[in-house]
Amino acid sequence: MGGLLKFLFRIPLVKPVLARISRPLFRILLGLIAVPIFRFLCRRILRFQDLDQELEKDLEQWFKASLVLLAATKNMEMALFGELLGAEDDLGNPWITGLRIMMAIGVIELMPDQALFALIHPGPPPLCYKKELGLFRCLQDHWYPFLKGLVCQHLNRSSPVFAILCTIFLGPAGWICYGLAITQYLIIGLVTSRDRAVDVLSQFEEQVSLQRKQLEHELNKQGETSSAASPAPVSTPEVSSLDSPAGGQPIPEGADQVTG
């Protein structure tokens, strides 16, 4: 097969066509066979017969997206097609790099349970200090939720960055970014699958109510600030109708005395 490809790439009229369609066809083929390969590995080699249905679905999506991302990395493209296409043509081609980044963004969308993970673990909660408890007790009560929120926020934000960087960097840096990306996405899928079993709807309602309270607090604070900054209106004395005639002219002095 490799000899046939080398022979075809030596033909001047065939090489430009194959150079444009070989990599997209390889990625499409890899995406089609990824799920059957995963099921074969689980049932025949790893002997996983009774996986949870939701967990198996998440692992299938992760395995498929990981293989497609592997095919989109610069290292793998150079290993598979560098000898046939020429490494110097690909390294300086911004169009191919841009298409590779677009492929990485599509792979990010394929990864399981990202939106649900970001919803359940939005980030570290705000730190609050209660004077009656003291500083040490407040730190003791809030350090674990705050640290957990930071880790979850890091997983949610850095995983797409690593997935994009592995399509740009060549050499060990590209492999490290690829390994970090698929590992973090696997953690996201596993943690979210476990959290789904523990009443996701109630957690969603708690997060929505918490965000509503934070928004109301910010709006109230802004309203108090704007009301304190605005000057008080100057009150003008009202002129009574008895003090001035209907025409609005002042009454001359002595006009109210009745002459004999």
Is residue 117 in a domain?
yes
Is residue 240 in a domain?
no
Is residue 234 in a domain?
no
170: which 2 tokens? 């060549």
Residues in the chain: 260
Q: Is the pLDDT of residue 146 over 50?
A: yes
In tens, the pLDDT along 42-66 reads 666 666 666 667 777 888 888 888 8
**Which residue's structure tokens are 């996701």?**
200
Is residue 119 in a domain?
yes
**Number of domains within the chain:** 1
Is residue 124 in a domain?
yes
**pLDDT interval class at 259 (50, 70, 90):** very low
8: which 2 tokens? 């075809």
What is the C-alpha R_g of the chain?
34
**Residue scoring higher pLDDT (212 or 8):** 212
Which amino acid is located at 92 in the chain?
A: G
Task: Report the distance separating Cα 118 and Cα 74, nearest Å.
Answer: 29
Q: Return the pLDDT at 180.
A: 94
Q: Residue 132 is part of which domain span?
A: 6-214
Least confident window among 99-103, 134-138, 171-175: 134-138
Task: Report the distance separating Cα 258 and Cα 82, nearest Å.
Answer: 117
